[in-house]
Amino acid sequence: MADDVGIVIGLGSNVEPALNIPEGVRQLRRHARIAVKRVSRIYESPAVGVAGAPDFHNAAVLAVTDLEPAQLRKELRGIEARQGRQRTSDRNAPRTLDLDLVYYDDLVAEFDGWRVPAADASTAPHVVIPVAEIAPDWINPGSGLTTNTVATKLASDGSKVRPIMDVRVSTPATTTGHDGFGDGIEVYSPRVEALVREQLEEIGEDPTREGLARTPLRVAKALDFLTSGYQTTVEEVVNGAIFDSEGAEEMVTVKGVEFYSMCEHHMLPFFGQIAVAYLPRGKIIGLSKIARIAEVYARRLQVQERLTNQIADAIENSLDPYGVAVIVEAKHLCMMMRGVQKQESSMITSAMRGTFQTNARTRTEFLELVRS
């Protein structure tokens, strides 16, 4: 299986759908191993099979992932559960969120009662029409028809599916990795945006004025990016980039690693540079992975002391080296902008493990390299 494959995910809800569909998209965008590329508009359609049931809202997401189909489905079920979805044998029961794997590249397979392409990928208007908006040329491997061809036919047959809300994403071509926090979104996280509007009102501002109209949306996206470390693990960012040291046991030092984090006491930024060293014991790690490990912990609400120790522990656990050393120097806006307002102050913290803690010469060599 390729490292990254194209997928299409369908979203559905008939319980507070105007909140739950955008929140579902947000959770997909936050996932470290799902890179969202395009999001359809939200469509409304009558409930299937139950007279008088609330109308359904549906949308579709085009993404890439390195997860196998069964792993991906498990992750989708986890997102559903976090949004209060309780699956029962009643297929027509109200639900806060459905996340269905519609397509997984060109795979045709069955897995314990479910399959890809999804059974209704070429028959259900509420599935096909949103999918055709984001992936019109995707060919259903069963019928050999494009989603656009099928959607056009279903629409001409009198489909009652109609677009009602825009959560489309225009991800810039220059965006890389799994962030995708572009500015081309109309709705991102209704719950967070509502809270930001309340905050603006509390400080005496008018959230409807031109300069603030999109501020709640931007704040919601920024918070997701700045706290994206909660959704990522060290194992995911290292991604197997640990290699045989081929006999090298001399100190490996990386310094000047920039980082930005947020103080958990005031939710104001602190930022600075990190220096890391380790003594290999048969293993070395890809250079960029040290910076990525730092980001896993920096992109959370933090205190500098804990951040320093978390980075040291992560490298020690990943490599089992003879020793690890970490020094973090940072400026804290909670001290510079408020409180004592000391502009030139900075904080230095260190964490020493193994030989760096027990051998003064090794520790001194590291400190001299950092100062040079």
Is 289 a member of any domain?
yes
Same domain for 356 and 246: yes
Same domain for 155 and 50: yes
Q: Of the listed 199, 334, 357, 365, which one is catalytic?
A: 334
Is 188 a member of any domain?
no
pLDDT average, residue stretch 57-68:
93
Catalytic residue check, 365: no
Is 194 a member of any domain?
no
Catalytic residue check, 57: no
Catalytic residue check, 263: yes
Three-state secondary structure of the chain: CCCCEEEEEEEEECCCHHHHHHHHHHHHHHCCCEEEEEECCEEEECCCCCCCCCCEEEEEEEEEECCCHHHHHHHHHHHHHHCCCCCCCCCCCCCCCEEEEEEECCCCEEECCEEECCCCCCCCHHHHHHHHHHCCCCECCCCCCEHHHHHHHHHHCCCCCEEEECCCCCCCCCCCCCCCCCCCCCCCCHHHHHHHHHHHHHCCCCCCCHHHCCHHHHHHHHHHHHCHHHHCCHHHHHCCCEEECCCCCCCEEEEEEEEEEEECCCCCEEEEEEEEEEECCCEEECHHHHHHHHHHHHCCEECHHHHHHHHHHHHHHHHCCCEEEEEEEEEEHHHHCCCCCCCCCCEEEEEEEEHHHHCHHHHHHHHHHHHC
Same domain for 271 and 357: yes
Domain count, the chain: 2
Instruction: Report the pLDDT value the prediction gives residue 49, as an integer from 0 to 100.
Output: 63
Catalytic residue check, 44: no
Q: Of the listed 198, 235, 249, 264, which one is catalytic?
A: 264
Is 139 a member of any domain?
yes
Task: For residue 20, give its domain range.
Answer: 5-179
Query: Considering the entire predicted model, what is its pTM?
Result: 0.71
Q: What is the pLDDT of residues 141-158, one digit of tens each?
A: 878 899 999 999 888 776
Q: What is the pLDDT of residues 11-23, one digit of tens each?
A: 999 998 888 898 8
Same domain for 39 and 166: yes
The model's confidence at residue 187, banded by pLDDT at 50, 70 and 90, is: low
Catalytic residue check, 334: yes
The model's confidence at residue 172, banded by pLDDT at 50, 70 and 90, is: very low
